[in-house]
Amino acid sequence: MVGPRFTLAVSYASPDRDYVEAVVNALKGRGVSVFYAPDEQADIIGRNLIDYLHDVYLTQARYCLVFVSASYLSSRWTNRVERRAAQERSLAEDDRYIIPVRLDDSVLPGLPSTTADIRNATPSQVADLVTSLLIRDEPVAAAISHAAGTPALILRATSFTEFDEVALRSSFKPFKTRSADKTDLPVELRLPAFLLKTIAAFESLIDSKAIDEYDRETRESFVRFVERIRREVFASMLRAPLWVLGPSQPDHSAGLELPDAAVSLIRRYVLSKSIALGRALLAHQLRGTPTPEWADVFADCDYTFSCGVMAGLPWLCRSEGAERFLWAQSNLVEWGPGSFSPIRIYLPSDLIVRESSTTLSLVDVLSFVAPQLLERELEGERVLLLRSALHFPERMRAYCRDEFAIECRHFKEVHLSSSGHERIEPVLVDMRDEILSAVELGRLSRDEALRRLLRASTSFGGRTIFDDAIARIFPEPLGD
């Protein structure tokens, strides 16, 4: 049986075309085959358009990406042909077919109100989420820290962006009777089958005669990486709950608890490590071996051989829209009363350019900082700041080092004060334009915009880029 011609078919109304086209381009840049009518004109010309499109949306795509808006609902064409064909297919299959992207509060007729959708997302974020969903697979056990058959805490990632918090909370229930200091729980790690399939293929290659075709240095490097996956990467994820549960316990707690902050941190750590592992697998792929089917998810990423959390956290944050520009190497110098020797971490540009008096929230710290602190402690460094991070996020103080940065277009590490700076100029332009747009739309005051532009210029360089923007906001010279 011949499979669908396209991975995705997009259904949209003409007034939404600019946004949709940006999503389509981002998807194609990630290697996803998309039916987008303007790109298929050579195939469409001369055909009965109603029959042709009905067949495309009914049989020729694996999924249908529907951009729901008031314009979509008022279009006779999308309602009579595309939506009906897509919903006919959806009714015929148990698995999801329609992936709704909601552009406003409009409701798609015939779509259950409980259907999860994508909303408030940039085109790049939509592309990241959709490509991750495309390779979603039933997770299987990757590693366990206990004897099989005994109750365990379940860490279940279903894709690079999805983590089963319900499974984590449910599996914790048998341990609630423990005292608050008994945090060394049995843990089972479940990762998507597509990821474990690639790891198994790497392990099989080591055991085959084919490995002898490569030179000694290549073989040894490959073997060391594959051995590290289970010994170090999986092991760190299994140990994460132990290191999170202790610092997360409320004061004077009678029994062991699983606070929301602990769930959030465990989720972000497991997903970030899974993303980093995926990128490292691609970087270590040997010449002549099959490319994994999920490789397109990281089509716009620079190669990295690291499985560290910072090889995954920026990608995760970009997919969520939490940080789209860059992360700058910074010194963490204080957390509450007293100071300590600087701890080197990366901070997202969003935190660096904010009003200095703005209090950091728990969400800020959990999203950006706590996963890095957790990894440092899992690697044996006595950072001992997780309790402060989880209970006193507003006390954190750090400053940008003006050295290395990770740009969020291709996730490449560059030096801010060298020739590599040109690599981050495109993201600095994007950052500048977003600040100017916020001023024009009334979402940001001129004074705050000025402060953010000055901080960006000071922290990231690119003075010409930001000075021009300052001149646009303040056409007259600033007074003393």
Whole-number Å distance between alpha carbons of 13 and 41:
17
What backbone torsions phi and psi does residue 229 show, to the nearest 5 degrees?
A: -60, -55
Which residues share a beta bridge with 345? 330
Whether the Cβ atoms of residue 266 and residue 244 lie closer than 8 Å to each other = yes
Whole-number Å distance between alpha carbons of 371 and 275:
13
Q: What is the pLDDT of residue 92?
A: 66
Q: What is the pLDDT of residue 140?
A: 73
H or E stretch at 347: strand 339-348
Would the pLDDT of 479 be above 70? no
Q: From 269, 295, 272, select the one nearest 282 (Cα to Cα).
A: 295
Give 254's DSSP letter.
S
- The pLDDT tens digits for 215-243 are 999 999 999 999 999 999 999 999 999 99
**Total length of the chain:** 480
404-421 mean pLDDT: 85
Q: Which residues of 323-342 are buried (b: 16+ CB within 10 A; e: fewer)?
A: bbbbbbbbbbeebeeeeeee
Would the pLDDT of 480 be above 50? no
Q: Which CATH fold topology does 6-123 show?
A: Rossmann fold (3.40.50)
- The pLDDT tens digits for 121-159 are 889 889 888 887 777 666 777 888 887 778 899 999 988
What backbone torsions phi and psi does residue 416 show, to the nearest 5 degrees?
A: -70, -25
Instruction: Supply the pTM of this predicted model.
Output: 0.80
Q: What is the pLDDT of residue 284?
A: 96
Whether the Cβ atoms of residue 469 and residue 453 lie closer than 8 Å to each other = yes
Q: What is the pLDDT of residue 276?
A: 98
Q: What is the pLDDT of residue 137?
A: 64
Whole-number Å distance between alpha carbons of 369 and 382:
16
Q: Left if phi > 0, otherwise alpha if psi is -120 to 50, otherwise beta: which for 336?
A: left
Would the pLDDT of 199 be above 50? yes
| Residue 76, both tokens | 């006779």
What backbone torsions phi and psi does residue 467 show, to the nearest 5 degrees?
A: -65, -40
Token look-up 């694996």 returns 62
Residues of the chain with CATH 3.40.50.10140: 6-123
How crowded is the C-beta side of 476, counted as CA atoms within 13 Å? 2
Q: From 374, 366, 352, 270, select the one nearest 312 (Cα to Cα).
A: 270
383-392 mean pLDDT: 91
Q: What is the pLDDT of residue 1?
A: 38
pLDDT category, 271, cuts 50, 70, 90? Answer: very high
**Which amino acid would we find at residue 72?**
Y
197-219 mean pLDDT: 95
pLDDT category, 348, cuts 50, 70, 90? Answer: very high
